[in-house]
Chains A and B, each alone.
Chain A
Amino acid sequence: MSRNISRIVRDLPKSGIRDFFEVVQTMSDVISLGIGEPDFPTPWHIREAAIYGLEKGHTGYSSNLGLPRLRRSIADHLAARHGLSYDPLSQILISVGVSESIDLALRAVLEEGDEVLYHEPCYVSYAPSIALARGVAVPVATRAEDGFSLTAEVLRARITPRSRVLMLNFPTNPTGAVLLGDELAKIAALCVEHDLLVLSDEIYCELIYDGIRHESIAALPGMAGRTVYLNGMSKAYAMTGFRIGYACGPEEIIDAMMKIHQYSILCAPMMGQEAAIEAIEFGAPDVEKMRREYERRRNFIVGALNDCGLPCLKPKGSFYVFPRVDGTGLTSTEFSLRLLREHRVAVVPGTAFGPGGEGYVRCSYATGYDRIKTATEVIAGFVKSL
Protein backbone atom coordinates (compact mmCIF):
# COMPACT_ATOMS: atom_id res chain seq x y z
CA MET A 1 0.00 0.00 0.00
CA SER A 2 1.02 3.60 -0.55
CA ARG A 3 3.64 5.03 1.77
CA ASN A 4 1.41 8.09 1.97
CA ILE A 5 -0.70 6.28 4.53
CA SER A 6 0.53 6.00 8.12
CA ARG A 7 1.34 2.60 9.55
CA ILE A 8 -1.34 2.89 12.23
CA VAL A 9 -4.08 3.55 9.70
CA ARG A 10 -2.74 0.93 7.28
CA ASP A 11 -2.95 -1.67 10.04
CA LEU A 12 -6.43 -0.62 11.09
CA PRO A 13 -9.04 -3.20 10.05
CA LYS A 14 -12.17 -1.89 8.33
CA SER A 15 -15.35 -2.24 10.35
CA GLY A 16 -16.83 -5.71 9.88
CA ILE A 17 -20.30 -4.17 9.81
CA ARG A 18 -19.35 -1.97 6.84
CA ASP A 19 -18.07 -4.93 4.82
CA PHE A 20 -21.29 -6.69 5.38
CA PHE A 21 -23.43 -3.73 4.46
CA GLU A 22 -21.58 -3.34 1.18
CA VAL A 23 -23.26 -6.62 0.25
CA VAL A 24 -26.66 -5.50 1.57
CA GLN A 25 -26.44 -2.28 -0.49
CA THR A 26 -26.44 -4.28 -3.71
CA MET A 27 -29.70 -6.09 -2.89
CA SER A 28 -33.30 -4.96 -2.79
CA ASP A 29 -36.19 -6.13 -0.56
CA VAL A 30 -33.94 -6.96 2.34
CA ILE A 31 -35.45 -7.04 5.83
CA SER A 32 -32.68 -5.73 8.00
CA LEU A 33 -32.16 -6.66 11.62
CA GLY A 34 -28.70 -5.20 11.22
CA ILE A 35 -29.25 -1.54 11.86
CA GLY A 36 -27.97 0.04 15.04
CA GLU A 37 -30.23 3.06 15.08
CA PRO A 38 -33.81 3.66 16.21
CA ASP A 39 -36.48 3.18 13.54
CA PHE A 40 -38.54 5.99 15.08
CA PRO A 41 -38.17 9.43 13.58
CA THR A 42 -36.96 12.07 16.02
CA PRO A 43 -40.03 13.30 17.97
CA TRP A 44 -41.51 16.28 16.14
CA HIS A 45 -41.14 18.83 18.95
CA ILE A 46 -37.38 18.14 18.91
CA ARG A 47 -37.12 18.47 15.11
CA GLU A 48 -39.21 21.62 15.31
CA ALA A 49 -36.85 23.14 17.89
CA ALA A 50 -34.04 22.73 15.33
CA ILE A 51 -36.18 24.35 12.63
CA TYR A 52 -36.99 27.21 14.99
CA GLY A 53 -33.29 27.77 15.66
CA LEU A 54 -32.59 27.87 11.91
CA GLU A 55 -35.44 30.32 11.35
CA LYS A 56 -34.08 32.62 14.04
CA GLY A 57 -30.64 32.48 12.44
CA HIS A 58 -28.91 30.56 15.23
CA THR A 59 -26.37 29.21 12.77
CA GLY A 60 -23.01 30.31 14.15
CA TYR A 61 -20.43 28.61 16.36
CA SER A 62 -21.18 27.91 19.99
CA SER A 63 -18.65 27.97 22.83
CA ASN A 64 -16.10 25.16 22.40
CA LEU A 65 -17.59 23.26 25.32
CA GLY A 66 -21.10 23.64 23.89
CA LEU A 67 -24.11 25.89 24.56
CA PRO A 68 -24.20 26.81 28.28
CA ARG A 69 -27.93 26.11 28.47
CA LEU A 70 -27.45 22.61 27.05
CA ARG A 71 -24.69 21.91 29.57
CA ARG A 72 -26.93 23.12 32.41
CA SER A 73 -29.79 20.94 31.19
CA ILE A 74 -27.50 17.92 31.03
CA ALA A 75 -26.17 18.61 34.55
CA ASP A 76 -29.72 18.87 35.94
CA HIS A 77 -30.83 15.75 34.07
CA LEU A 78 -27.88 13.65 35.28
CA ALA A 79 -28.35 14.82 38.85
CA ALA A 80 -32.06 14.03 38.90
CA ARG A 81 -31.91 10.77 36.97
CA HIS A 82 -28.61 9.13 37.89
CA GLY A 83 -27.43 10.94 41.05
CA LEU A 84 -24.39 12.36 39.22
CA SER A 85 -23.09 15.81 40.02
CA TYR A 86 -21.17 17.84 37.41
CA ASP A 87 -20.39 21.54 37.14
CA PRO A 88 -21.88 22.65 33.80
CA LEU A 89 -19.21 25.31 33.35
CA SER A 90 -16.14 23.13 33.64
CA GLN A 91 -17.02 19.43 33.73
CA ILE A 92 -19.21 18.89 30.65
CA LEU A 93 -18.15 18.89 27.00
CA ILE A 94 -20.59 18.59 24.09
CA SER A 95 -19.13 16.51 21.26
CA VAL A 96 -20.08 15.23 17.82
CA GLY A 97 -21.73 12.04 19.03
CA VAL A 98 -20.28 9.85 21.76
CA SER A 99 -17.75 8.54 19.24
CA GLU A 100 -15.91 11.85 19.25
CA SER A 101 -15.85 11.91 23.05
CA ILE A 102 -14.34 8.41 23.14
CA ASP A 103 -11.64 9.52 20.72
CA LEU A 104 -10.96 12.74 22.67
CA ALA A 105 -10.80 10.99 26.02
CA LEU A 106 -8.39 8.31 24.80
CA ARG A 107 -6.14 10.84 23.08
CA ALA A 108 -6.24 13.11 26.13
CA VAL A 109 -5.16 10.50 28.68
CA LEU A 110 -3.03 7.86 26.96
CA GLU A 111 0.75 7.71 26.69
CA GLU A 112 2.12 5.52 23.93
CA GLY A 113 1.92 1.88 25.00
CA ASP A 114 -0.60 2.39 27.81
CA GLU A 115 -2.99 -0.51 28.01
CA VAL A 116 -6.72 -0.02 27.66
CA LEU A 117 -9.01 -2.77 28.92
CA TYR A 118 -12.46 -3.24 27.42
CA HIS A 119 -15.00 -6.03 27.45
CA GLU A 120 -15.60 -7.97 24.23
CA PRO A 121 -17.86 -8.56 22.23
CA CYS A 122 -18.15 -4.80 22.09
CA TYR A 123 -18.88 -1.85 19.86
CA VAL A 124 -16.75 -1.82 16.71
CA SER A 125 -14.93 1.47 17.35
CA TYR A 126 -13.17 0.73 20.63
CA ALA A 127 -10.09 -1.13 19.44
CA PRO A 128 -9.45 1.23 16.47
CA SER A 129 -9.90 4.32 18.67
CA ILE A 130 -7.37 2.92 21.15
CA ALA A 131 -4.91 2.18 18.34
CA LEU A 132 -5.30 5.69 16.89
CA ALA A 133 -4.52 7.12 20.34
CA ARG A 134 -1.37 4.94 20.35
CA GLY A 135 -2.58 2.79 23.19
CA VAL A 136 -2.61 -0.98 23.39
CA ALA A 137 -6.05 -2.61 23.16
CA VAL A 138 -6.58 -5.34 25.76
CA PRO A 139 -9.91 -7.09 25.16
CA VAL A 140 -11.45 -8.92 28.11
CA ALA A 141 -13.68 -11.70 26.83
CA THR A 142 -17.08 -11.82 28.51
CA ARG A 143 -18.96 -15.10 28.79
CA ALA A 144 -22.44 -16.14 27.81
CA GLU A 145 -22.90 -17.74 31.25
CA ASP A 146 -22.39 -14.27 32.78
CA GLY A 147 -24.97 -12.85 30.34
CA PHE A 148 -21.97 -11.22 28.57
CA SER A 149 -21.54 -8.92 31.54
CA LEU A 150 -18.10 -8.17 32.95
CA THR A 151 -17.02 -9.77 36.23
CA ALA A 152 -14.32 -8.47 38.54
CA GLU A 153 -12.70 -11.93 38.49
CA VAL A 154 -12.35 -12.01 34.70
CA LEU A 155 -11.17 -8.40 34.61
CA ARG A 156 -8.55 -8.85 37.34
CA ALA A 157 -6.79 -11.54 35.34
CA ARG A 158 -6.12 -9.08 32.50
CA ILE A 159 -4.76 -6.17 34.60
CA THR A 160 -1.01 -5.50 34.27
CA PRO A 161 1.27 -2.72 35.53
CA ARG A 162 0.73 -0.96 32.16
CA SER A 163 -3.09 -0.95 32.51
CA ARG A 164 -4.28 2.62 32.49
CA VAL A 165 -7.90 2.79 31.32
CA LEU A 166 -10.99 0.58 31.56
CA MET A 167 -13.70 1.15 28.96
CA LEU A 168 -17.23 0.09 29.89
CA ASN A 169 -20.33 0.00 27.73
CA PHE A 170 -23.39 -1.10 29.69
CA PRO A 171 -26.02 -1.77 28.42
CA THR A 172 -23.79 -3.28 25.75
CA ASN A 173 -23.88 -3.13 21.99
CA PRO A 174 -24.07 -5.93 20.67
CA THR A 175 -25.17 -8.20 23.54
CA GLY A 176 -27.59 -6.05 25.57
CA ALA A 177 -25.71 -6.99 28.77
CA VAL A 178 -26.01 -4.84 31.88
CA LEU A 179 -23.63 -4.41 34.85
CA LEU A 180 -25.26 -3.61 38.18
CA GLY A 181 -25.11 -3.98 41.95
CA ASP A 182 -22.35 -5.95 43.66
CA GLU A 183 -20.41 -6.79 40.52
CA LEU A 184 -20.34 -3.11 39.51
CA ALA A 185 -19.10 -2.20 43.01
CA LYS A 186 -16.38 -4.89 42.83
CA ILE A 187 -15.21 -3.58 39.49
CA ALA A 188 -15.15 -0.02 40.87
CA ALA A 189 -13.02 -1.26 43.79
CA LEU A 190 -10.62 -2.92 41.31
CA CYS A 191 -10.27 0.37 39.45
CA VAL A 192 -9.37 2.16 42.68
CA GLU A 193 -6.94 -0.61 43.68
CA HIS A 194 -5.11 -0.45 40.33
CA ASP A 195 -5.55 3.29 39.78
CA LEU A 196 -7.47 2.81 36.51
CA LEU A 197 -9.33 5.57 34.77
CA VAL A 198 -12.81 4.56 33.57
CA LEU A 199 -14.43 5.61 30.30
CA SER A 200 -18.06 4.65 30.74
CA ASP A 201 -20.06 4.75 27.51
CA GLU A 202 -23.67 4.73 28.74
CA ILE A 203 -25.39 5.58 25.47
CA TYR A 204 -28.03 2.84 25.97
CA CYS A 205 -28.75 3.66 29.64
CA GLU A 206 -32.32 4.82 28.97
CA LEU A 207 -33.15 1.60 27.10
CA ILE A 208 -33.34 -0.84 29.98
CA TYR A 209 -36.14 -3.32 30.71
CA ASP A 210 -37.88 -5.55 33.23
CA GLY A 211 -38.26 -2.65 35.67
CA ILE A 212 -34.51 -2.51 36.32
CA ARG A 213 -32.85 0.79 37.18
CA HIS A 214 -29.64 1.72 35.41
CA GLU A 215 -26.62 2.34 37.63
CA SER A 216 -23.64 4.41 36.58
CA ILE A 217 -20.18 3.51 37.85
CA ALA A 218 -19.54 7.27 38.12
CA ALA A 219 -22.09 7.48 40.95
CA LEU A 220 -20.24 4.97 43.17
CA PRO A 221 -18.13 6.28 46.07
CA GLY A 222 -14.67 7.41 44.97
CA MET A 223 -15.42 6.97 41.24
CA ALA A 224 -16.42 10.48 40.11
CA GLY A 225 -12.79 11.61 40.17
CA ARG A 226 -11.61 8.74 37.96
CA THR A 227 -14.53 8.33 35.56
CA VAL A 228 -15.33 10.01 32.28
CA TYR A 229 -19.08 9.56 31.85
CA LEU A 230 -20.12 9.42 28.19
CA ASN A 231 -23.62 9.69 26.83
CA GLY A 232 -25.53 11.23 23.94
CA MET A 233 -28.82 11.89 22.24
CA SER A 234 -28.72 9.28 19.47
CA LYS A 235 -30.31 6.15 20.89
CA ALA A 236 -32.72 7.28 23.61
CA TYR A 237 -34.17 10.23 21.70
CA ALA A 238 -33.81 8.75 18.18
CA MET A 239 -31.46 11.58 17.17
CA THR A 240 -28.57 9.76 15.47
CA GLY A 241 -28.25 12.27 12.62
CA PHE A 242 -28.07 15.28 14.92
CA ARG A 243 -24.65 14.05 16.09
CA ILE A 244 -24.76 15.19 19.71
CA GLY A 245 -22.92 13.41 22.50
CA TYR A 246 -21.37 14.58 25.73
CA ALA A 247 -18.57 13.79 28.15
CA CYS A 248 -18.63 14.60 31.86
CA GLY A 249 -15.74 14.16 34.25
CA PRO A 250 -12.96 15.71 36.30
CA GLU A 251 -12.20 19.25 35.17
CA GLU A 252 -8.59 18.39 34.32
CA ILE A 253 -9.62 15.69 31.84
CA ILE A 254 -12.51 17.67 30.29
CA ASP A 255 -10.11 20.58 29.85
CA ALA A 256 -7.58 18.34 28.09
CA MET A 257 -10.30 16.86 25.86
CA MET A 258 -11.46 20.38 25.06
CA LYS A 259 -7.99 21.30 23.82
CA ILE A 260 -8.14 18.58 21.15
CA HIS A 261 -11.80 19.28 20.38
CA GLN A 262 -11.23 23.01 19.81
CA TYR A 263 -8.48 22.39 17.28
CA SER A 264 -10.09 19.52 15.41
CA ILE A 265 -13.85 20.16 15.63
CA LEU A 266 -14.31 23.59 17.22
CA CYS A 267 -17.85 22.90 18.41
CA ALA A 268 -20.69 20.43 17.95
CA PRO A 269 -23.32 21.50 15.37
CA MET A 270 -25.45 24.38 16.64
CA MET A 271 -28.68 22.96 15.20
CA GLY A 272 -28.14 19.66 16.98
CA GLN A 273 -27.37 21.40 20.27
CA GLU A 274 -30.61 23.39 20.15
CA ALA A 275 -32.57 20.23 19.40
CA ALA A 276 -30.78 18.50 22.29
CA ILE A 277 -31.92 21.17 24.77
CA GLU A 278 -35.54 20.53 23.79
CA ALA A 279 -34.99 16.76 23.99
CA ILE A 280 -33.39 16.73 27.43
CA GLU A 281 -35.81 19.21 28.97
CA PHE A 282 -39.04 17.86 27.48
CA GLY A 283 -38.33 14.53 25.80
CA ALA A 284 -38.74 12.13 28.72
CA PRO A 285 -42.27 10.98 27.73
CA ASP A 286 -41.05 10.21 24.20
CA VAL A 287 -38.15 8.15 25.54
CA GLU A 288 -40.51 6.16 27.75
CA LYS A 289 -42.90 5.51 24.89
CA MET A 290 -40.11 4.19 22.65
CA ARG A 291 -38.59 2.18 25.50
CA ARG A 292 -41.89 0.39 26.09
CA GLU A 293 -42.17 -0.45 22.41
CA TYR A 294 -38.60 -1.82 22.37
CA GLU A 295 -39.40 -3.93 25.41
CA ARG A 296 -42.43 -5.46 23.67
CA ARG A 297 -40.35 -6.21 20.58
CA ARG A 298 -37.54 -7.70 22.67
CA ASN A 299 -39.97 -10.08 24.37
CA PHE A 300 -41.24 -11.17 20.98
CA ILE A 301 -37.91 -11.62 19.20
CA VAL A 302 -36.28 -13.51 22.10
CA GLY A 303 -39.20 -15.95 22.16
CA ALA A 304 -39.24 -16.35 18.39
CA LEU A 305 -35.47 -16.98 18.09
CA ASN A 306 -35.47 -19.54 20.89
CA ASP A 307 -38.46 -21.27 19.28
CA CYS A 308 -36.64 -21.64 15.99
CA GLY A 309 -33.65 -23.29 17.62
CA LEU A 310 -31.28 -20.36 18.05
CA PRO A 311 -30.62 -20.16 21.82
CA CYS A 312 -30.91 -16.54 22.87
CA LEU A 313 -30.58 -14.86 26.27
CA LYS A 314 -33.10 -12.20 27.21
CA PRO A 315 -30.94 -9.09 27.40
CA LYS A 316 -31.91 -6.42 29.89
CA GLY A 317 -30.85 -3.40 27.86
CA SER A 318 -30.10 -1.77 24.46
CA PHE A 319 -32.04 -2.85 21.36
CA TYR A 320 -30.02 -5.90 20.36
CA VAL A 321 -30.25 -9.62 20.92
CA PHE A 322 -27.29 -11.93 20.42
CA PRO A 323 -28.50 -15.44 19.57
CA ARG A 324 -26.19 -18.44 19.19
CA VAL A 325 -26.00 -19.89 15.70
CA ASP A 326 -23.18 -22.44 16.09
CA GLY A 327 -25.73 -25.23 16.54
CA THR A 328 -26.52 -24.89 12.83
CA GLY A 329 -22.99 -26.01 11.94
CA LEU A 330 -22.30 -22.69 10.23
CA THR A 331 -19.90 -19.95 11.31
CA SER A 332 -21.34 -16.52 12.14
CA THR A 333 -20.30 -15.16 8.77
CA GLU A 334 -21.57 -18.17 6.78
CA PHE A 335 -24.88 -18.01 8.63
CA SER A 336 -25.28 -14.28 8.02
CA LEU A 337 -24.23 -14.39 4.36
CA ARG A 338 -26.48 -17.33 3.50
CA LEU A 339 -29.42 -15.80 5.39
CA LEU A 340 -28.90 -12.62 3.42
CA ARG A 341 -28.26 -14.12 -0.04
CA GLU A 342 -30.80 -16.92 0.11
CA HIS A 343 -33.51 -15.34 2.26
CA ARG A 344 -32.93 -11.59 2.18
CA VAL A 345 -32.77 -11.06 5.92
CA ALA A 346 -29.77 -9.16 7.24
CA VAL A 347 -28.18 -9.79 10.65
CA VAL A 348 -24.61 -8.89 11.66
CA PRO A 349 -22.07 -11.69 12.25
CA GLY A 350 -20.93 -11.70 15.88
CA THR A 351 -17.30 -11.61 14.76
CA ALA A 352 -17.76 -7.95 13.74
CA PHE A 353 -17.68 -7.25 17.48
CA GLY A 354 -14.52 -9.21 18.24
CA PRO A 355 -13.36 -12.81 17.98
CA GLY A 356 -15.50 -13.72 21.01
CA GLY A 357 -18.55 -13.11 18.83
CA GLU A 358 -17.88 -16.24 16.73
CA GLY A 359 -20.90 -18.53 16.95
CA TYR A 360 -23.31 -15.61 17.44
CA VAL A 361 -25.10 -13.01 15.35
CA ARG A 362 -26.46 -9.62 16.36
CA CYS A 363 -30.12 -8.89 15.62
CA SER A 364 -31.39 -5.38 16.19
CA TYR A 365 -35.04 -4.96 17.16
CA ALA A 366 -35.01 -1.27 16.27
CA THR A 367 -37.29 -2.28 13.40
CA GLY A 368 -41.08 -2.37 13.13
CA TYR A 369 -42.88 -5.26 14.82
CA ASP A 370 -44.29 -6.65 11.53
CA ARG A 371 -40.85 -6.77 9.94
CA ILE A 372 -39.39 -8.48 13.00
CA LYS A 373 -42.18 -11.03 12.82
CA THR A 374 -41.60 -11.73 9.13
CA ALA A 375 -37.82 -11.88 9.63
CA THR A 376 -38.05 -14.39 12.46
CA GLU A 377 -40.37 -16.59 10.38
CA VAL A 378 -37.82 -16.52 7.57
CA ILE A 379 -35.00 -17.34 10.01
CA ALA A 380 -37.02 -20.26 11.39
CA GLY A 381 -37.45 -21.65 7.86
CA PHE A 382 -33.77 -21.19 7.12
CA VAL A 383 -32.63 -22.91 10.33
CA LYS A 384 -34.98 -25.83 9.64
CA SER A 385 -33.57 -26.26 6.13
CA LEU A 386 -29.99 -26.66 7.41
Chain B
Amino acid sequence: MDSLIDILKSDARASAEDIARRLGGTPDEILDRIHQLETSGAILGYQAVVDPEKTGDSDVTAVIEVKITPERGGGFDRLASRIAKFEQVISCYLMSGGYDLLVIVRGRDLREVARFIAEKLSSIEGVLSTATHFRLKNYKVNGLLMEVGADSPRLAVAP
Protein backbone atom coordinates (compact mmCIF):
# COMPACT_ATOMS: atom_id res chain seq x y z
CA MET B 1 0.00 0.00 0.00
CA ASP B 2 1.26 3.43 -0.87
CA SER B 3 1.84 5.94 1.85
CA LEU B 4 3.18 9.45 1.47
CA ILE B 5 6.53 8.39 2.91
CA ASP B 6 6.81 5.39 0.59
CA ILE B 7 6.25 7.61 -2.43
CA LEU B 8 8.81 10.17 -1.30
CA LYS B 9 11.34 7.46 -0.42
CA SER B 10 11.30 6.21 -3.98
CA ASP B 11 10.94 9.62 -5.64
CA ALA B 12 11.56 12.68 -3.47
CA ARG B 13 10.75 14.95 -6.39
CA ALA B 14 7.23 13.65 -6.97
CA SER B 15 4.98 16.70 -7.25
CA ALA B 16 2.20 17.40 -4.77
CA GLU B 17 -0.30 17.11 -7.64
CA ASP B 18 0.92 13.63 -8.54
CA ILE B 19 0.89 12.47 -4.96
CA ALA B 20 -2.59 13.91 -4.41
CA ARG B 21 -3.85 11.96 -7.43
CA ARG B 22 -2.38 8.74 -6.04
CA LEU B 23 -3.42 9.13 -2.40
CA GLY B 24 -6.47 11.35 -2.68
CA GLY B 25 -6.79 14.78 -1.07
CA THR B 26 -5.66 18.11 -2.47
CA PRO B 27 -2.11 19.16 -3.34
CA ASP B 28 -2.23 21.70 -0.49
CA GLU B 29 -3.07 18.97 2.02
CA ILE B 30 -0.13 16.92 0.71
CA LEU B 31 2.22 19.90 1.03
CA ASP B 32 1.00 20.44 4.60
CA ARG B 33 1.68 16.82 5.49
CA ILE B 34 5.14 16.96 3.92
CA HIS B 35 5.87 20.11 5.87
CA GLN B 36 4.79 18.39 9.10
CA LEU B 37 7.05 15.42 8.36
CA GLU B 38 9.94 17.79 7.75
CA THR B 39 9.46 19.87 10.88
CA SER B 40 8.96 16.81 13.10
CA GLY B 41 12.25 15.40 11.79
CA ALA B 42 10.64 12.33 10.22
CA ILE B 43 12.02 13.50 6.87
CA LEU B 44 15.61 14.63 7.38
CA GLY B 45 16.50 15.72 3.88
CA TYR B 46 16.50 15.05 0.13
CA GLN B 47 19.64 14.17 -1.81
CA ALA B 48 20.52 13.23 -5.37
CA VAL B 49 22.08 9.79 -5.80
CA VAL B 50 24.96 10.19 -8.25
CA ASP B 51 27.34 7.88 -10.04
CA PRO B 52 30.80 9.25 -9.21
CA GLU B 53 32.26 7.76 -12.38
CA LYS B 54 29.93 9.93 -14.46
CA THR B 55 30.25 13.13 -12.41
CA GLY B 56 34.04 12.90 -12.44
CA ASP B 57 34.00 12.95 -8.64
CA SER B 58 37.42 12.01 -7.23
CA ASP B 59 36.18 11.79 -3.62
CA VAL B 60 37.59 8.98 -1.51
CA THR B 61 35.19 6.89 0.57
CA ALA B 62 36.20 4.55 3.37
CA VAL B 63 34.26 2.21 5.65
CA ILE B 64 35.75 2.08 9.12
CA GLU B 65 35.09 -0.50 11.82
CA VAL B 66 35.53 1.21 15.16
CA LYS B 67 35.76 -0.33 18.62
CA ILE B 68 34.93 2.04 21.46
CA THR B 69 34.53 1.90 25.23
CA PRO B 70 30.92 2.29 26.34
CA GLU B 71 30.30 4.79 29.14
CA ARG B 72 28.15 4.69 32.26
CA GLY B 73 24.89 6.50 31.70
CA GLY B 74 25.16 6.94 27.95
CA GLY B 75 26.52 3.67 26.57
CA PHE B 76 27.84 4.35 23.10
CA ASP B 77 25.74 7.46 22.42
CA ARG B 78 28.02 10.31 23.40
CA LEU B 79 31.06 9.04 21.53
CA ALA B 80 29.00 7.98 18.53
CA SER B 81 27.40 11.39 18.19
CA ARG B 82 30.76 13.14 18.62
CA ILE B 83 32.16 11.06 15.77
CA ALA B 84 29.03 11.50 13.67
CA LYS B 85 29.23 15.30 13.77
CA PHE B 86 32.41 15.44 11.68
CA GLU B 87 31.65 16.65 8.20
CA GLN B 88 33.66 13.79 6.68
CA VAL B 89 31.37 11.20 8.31
CA ILE B 90 28.48 10.46 5.98
CA SER B 91 27.00 7.53 7.95
CA CYS B 92 27.56 6.13 11.41
CA TYR B 93 25.85 3.02 12.78
CA LEU B 94 26.01 1.06 16.03
CA MET B 95 26.58 -2.60 15.12
CA SER B 96 26.32 -6.00 16.68
CA GLY B 97 29.25 -8.38 16.27
CA GLY B 98 33.00 -7.91 16.24
CA TYR B 99 33.11 -4.11 16.46
CA ASP B 100 30.88 -1.32 17.75
CA LEU B 101 30.53 1.47 15.19
CA LEU B 102 30.50 1.30 11.43
CA VAL B 103 31.58 4.70 10.18
CA ILE B 104 31.46 5.67 6.52
CA VAL B 105 33.79 8.55 5.74
CA ARG B 106 34.19 10.68 2.64
CA GLY B 107 37.06 13.07 1.90
CA ARG B 108 38.35 15.06 -1.05
CA ASP B 109 41.41 12.82 -1.31
CA LEU B 110 43.28 10.04 0.43
CA ARG B 111 45.18 12.54 2.56
CA GLU B 112 42.02 14.04 4.01
CA VAL B 113 40.61 10.64 4.94
CA ALA B 114 43.95 9.49 6.35
CA ARG B 115 44.22 12.66 8.44
CA PHE B 116 40.69 12.24 9.72
CA ILE B 117 41.39 8.69 10.87
CA ALA B 118 44.83 9.33 12.35
CA GLU B 119 44.31 12.78 13.89
CA LYS B 120 40.63 12.88 14.73
CA LEU B 121 39.01 9.47 15.03
CA SER B 122 41.81 7.37 16.54
CA SER B 123 42.88 10.04 19.00
CA ILE B 124 39.46 10.42 20.67
CA GLU B 125 39.48 9.24 24.28
CA GLY B 126 37.52 5.97 24.31
CA VAL B 127 38.27 4.88 20.73
CA LEU B 128 40.14 1.56 21.11
CA SER B 129 40.84 0.55 17.53
CA THR B 130 39.91 1.19 13.91
CA ALA B 131 40.03 -0.96 10.77
CA THR B 132 39.68 0.95 7.51
CA HIS B 133 38.47 -0.35 4.13
CA PHE B 134 38.51 1.87 1.06
CA ARG B 135 35.73 1.81 -1.53
CA LEU B 136 36.91 0.78 -4.97
CA LYS B 137 33.77 0.80 -7.07
CA ASN B 138 30.00 1.32 -6.71
CA TYR B 139 27.60 -1.24 -8.08
CA LYS B 140 24.43 -0.23 -6.27
CA VAL B 141 23.69 2.72 -3.99
CA ASN B 142 20.47 3.36 -2.04
CA GLY B 143 18.68 0.71 -4.09
CA LEU B 144 19.82 2.15 -7.42
CA LEU B 145 22.03 0.19 -9.82
CA MET B 146 24.89 2.20 -11.29
CA GLU B 147 24.58 1.07 -14.92
CA VAL B 148 21.91 2.64 -17.08
CA GLY B 149 19.79 0.01 -18.79
CA ALA B 150 20.63 -2.59 -16.19
CA ASP B 151 17.09 -3.90 -16.56
CA SER B 152 16.71 -6.72 -19.08
CA PRO B 153 15.56 -5.35 -22.45
CA ARG B 154 11.92 -6.04 -23.24
CA LEU B 155 9.85 -5.33 -26.26
CA ALA B 156 7.50 -2.40 -25.93
CA VAL B 157 4.64 -4.60 -27.07
CA ALA B 158 4.70 -8.29 -26.47
CA PRO B 159 2.18 -11.03 -27.01
Contact = CB atoms under 8 A, between A and B. Distances in A.
Contacts of A43: 87
A55 B125 contact: yes
B86 A48 contact: yes
Interface string B88-121: 0000000000000000000000000000000010
B123 A45 contact: no
Interface in A294-347: none
B124 interface: yes
B124 A44 contact: no
A52 B85 contact: no
A42 to B, nearest CB: 11
A279 to B, nearest CB: 14
Contacts of A48: 82, 85-86, 120
A48 B86 CA distance: 9
A44 B85 contact: yes
A219 interface: no
A43 B85 CA distance: 9
B124 A52 contact: yes
A109 B86 CA distance: 44
Contact of B86 (A44, A52, A55): A44
Interface in B67-99: 82, 85-87
A215 to B, nearest CB: 29
A374 to B, nearest CB: 16
A103 to B, nearest CB: 35
B124 A45 contact: no
A223 interface: no
Interface string A49-75: 001100110000000000000000000
- Interface size grouping (class) on chain B: under 10
Interface in A225-283: none
A158 B86 CA distance: 51
A45 B82 contact: no
B77 to A, nearest CB: 15
Nearest to B82: A48
A56 B125 CA distance: 9
A275 to B, nearest CB: 14
A45 B120 contact: yes
A55 B79 CA distance: 13
A44 B125 CA distance: 17
A44 B120 contact: no
A51 B82 CA distance: 10
Contacts of B85: 44, 48
Interface in A113-162: none
Contacts of B87: 43-45
Nearest to B116: A45
Contacts of B124: 52
A55 to B, nearest CB: 5
Contacts of A45: 86-87, 120
User: Most B CB atoms within 10 A — which of A44, A55, A56?
Assistant: A44
Interface in B16-71: none
A142 to B, nearest CB: 39
A289 to B, nearest CB: 10
Contacts of B86: 44-45, 48
A52 B79 CA distance: 12
Nearest to A47: B85
B127 to A, nearest CB: 12
A344 B86 CA distance: 36
Contacts of B125: 55-56
B63 to A, nearest CB: 20
Contacts of A56: 125
A55 B125 CA distance: 8
A44 B124 CA distance: 14
A110 B73 CA distance: 57
A43 B82 CA distance: 13
A55 B123 CA distance: 11
Contacts of B120: 45, 48
Contacts of A55: 125
Given A48-B85, A52-B123, 12 more contacts: A43-B87, A44-B86, A44-B87, A45-B86, A45-B87, A45-B120, A48-B82, A48-B86, A51-B82, A52-B124, A55-B125, A56-B125
Which 6 A-B residue pairs are closest in the complex by CB-CB distance? A44-B85, A55-B125, A44-B86, A45-B86, A44-B87, A48-B82
Interface of A: 43-45, 48, 51-52, 55-56
